């Protein structure tokens, strides 16, 4: 029987991260559910997955804090073993005009979306390189490719995620560690609740598949990139967006 693999998913208490955690758990992975503020949501997911016989744990951390990330990774490794897959999903956004973004908001977006990803990669890579096996999947956004009005900080941070992915893939590829990026299109999650309903309807109409994406759509892409079926794929940006951007 093949040994179970361990995955750490940041921002797994809700939205895309929650569905990624659920799908990995039901696919036979040991799953570490990371959360920052919503311990209650992480706990309900933990209870759900444990009830289905999955091996899982919750772990809280502010990923913008390097020391907390180190503690999080150590806790996961102690309980679930070496981390085979890292899914960098946690992110924040501010939907407002460019000249209304405060210095603090700009810095916070980059602290979570870029620096947090850097800290997580840096913490798990020594183990992956030592074992000569691992997969990192970074969640960017369609707006990291095209940019989005009133989401300048978010778009810029998600473009940085793409650059980090491509560079890191070249650096750690010789150690058989793969690094890829998923850039979702417009997905029906809490994060898009801030977007005007009329704007969402317009985006839906502009999408050739004529619907918004679901968290499940993205989770399935992430699971594929972590699997042996994607063993020759690294440094790539895959954008499940229904044809909105080709």
DSSP for 178-200, written as a single string:
EEEEE---SB-SGGGGGS-HHHH
pTM score above 0.85: yes
**H or E element: which one contains 87?**
strand 85-88
194 is a domain residue: yes
Strand ranges of the sheet holding 85-88, from the earlier edge strand across to the other edge: 56-60, 30-35, 6-9, 85-88, 134-139, 177-182, 237-238
Per the structure, the count of domains in the chain is 1
pLDDT of residue 1: 43
243 is a domain residue: no
Q: Are 179 and 234 in contact (CB under 8 A)?
A: yes
Q: Helix H segments across 56-151?
A: 66-80, 103-110, 116-131, 142-146
Q: Are 221 and 182 in contact (CB under 8 A)?
A: yes
Q: For the chain, give the number of residues.
A: 246
pLDDT of residue 188: 87
54 is a domain residue: yes
* Dihedral over alpha carbons 90, 121, 175, 171 (to 10 degrees): 100
Kindly give the pairing relationship between strand 237-238 and strand 85-88: unpaired
Q: Tokens 């900080």, residue? A: 153
pLDDT of residue 40: 97
| Residues of the chain with confidence (pLDDT) below 50 | 1
1 is a domain residue: no
Domain enclosing residue 74, as ranges:
6-233
Residue 155 sits in a domain whose CATH number is 3.40.50.720
Handedness of CA 36, 38, 42, 43 (dihedral sign): positive
67 is a domain residue: yes
Backbone angles phi, psi at 177, to 5 degrees: -110, 125
Furthest C-alpha separation in the chain:
57
Q: Are 83 and 7 in contact (CB under 8 A)?
A: yes
User: Rounded distance, CA 61 to CA 73, Å?
Assistant: 10
239 is a domain residue: no
pLDDT of residue 157: 98
Residues labelled as active-site residues:
154
Kindly give the pairing relationship between strand 134-139 and strand 85-88: parallel
């Amino acid at each position: 029987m093949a040994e179970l693999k361990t995955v750490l998913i940041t921002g797994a208490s809700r939205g895309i991260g929650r569905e990624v955690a659920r799908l990995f758990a039901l696919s036979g992975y040991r799953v570490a559910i990371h959360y920052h503020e919503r311990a209650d949501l992480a706990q309900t997911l933990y209870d759900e997955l444990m009830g289905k016989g999955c091996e899982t744990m919750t772990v809280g951390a502010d990923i913008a804090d390097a020391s907390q990330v180190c503690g999080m990774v150590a806790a996961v490794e102690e309980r679930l073993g070496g981390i085979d897959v890292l899914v960098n999903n946690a992110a924040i956004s501010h939907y407002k005009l460019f000249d209304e973004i405060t210095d603090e908001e700009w810095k916070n977006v980059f602290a979570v979306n870029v620096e947090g990803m850097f800290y997580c990669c840096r913490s798990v890579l020594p183990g992956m390189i030592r074992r000569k096996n691992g997969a990192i999947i970074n969640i960017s956004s369609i707006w990291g490719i095209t940019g989005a009005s009133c989401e300048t900080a978010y778009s810029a941070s998600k473009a940085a995620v793409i650059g980090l992915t491509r560079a890191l893939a070249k650096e750690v590829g010789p150690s058989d560690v793969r690094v890829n990026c998923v850039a979702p299109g417009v997905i029906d999650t809490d994060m898009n609740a801030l977007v005007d309903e009329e704007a969402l309807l317009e985006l839906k109409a502009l999408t050739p598949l004529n619907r918004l994406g679901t968290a499940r759509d993205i989770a399935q892409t992430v699971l594929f990139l972590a699997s042996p079926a994607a063993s020759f794929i690294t440094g790539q940006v895959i954008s499940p967006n229904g044809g909105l951007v080709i």
